[in-house]
Amino acid sequence: MDNSKYHIPACLDEPVKFMGLSVSELGFLFAGFILGLLFDQFVLFCFIGCMATIFLRYWGENGSDVSIQSLMYWHLPSWITSSESLPRSSLRKYLG
């Protein structure tokens, strides 16, 4: 029986990877490539895309997606992060 055709993930929520990068990391990288082609600033936007990918990978190792959502909730305007199930961050009160 050949076991090389089966992939056993390290954990159940392991993201799908292509060329060693997750889908979200590839999105940032390719967004830099596409924007570089559109604005005729290929090197600059490739650099920005690579830095965004590195930042996302670093943030994912040391934090989690929950910490990115928390950062967005507290620091972005409410019209960007509007959610009906959560109160606005300006109305939130600490208990205890």
Q: How far is the C-alpha of 33 from the C-alpha of 49, rounded, in Å?
A: 7
Closest CA to 31 of 51, 19, 45: 45
Q: Domains of the chain: which residue ranges? A: 14-91
Q: What is the identity of the amino acid at 69?
A: Q
Of residues 40 and 58, the one with the higher pLDDT is 40
Q: What is the spatial distance between Cα 20 and Cα 22, in angstroms, rounded to a whole number?
A: 7
Three-state DSSP at 21 gives: strand
Say if CB 80 and CB 56 are below 8 A apart. no
pLDDT tens, 43-80? 999 999 999 888 888 776 655 556 666 777 777 776 66
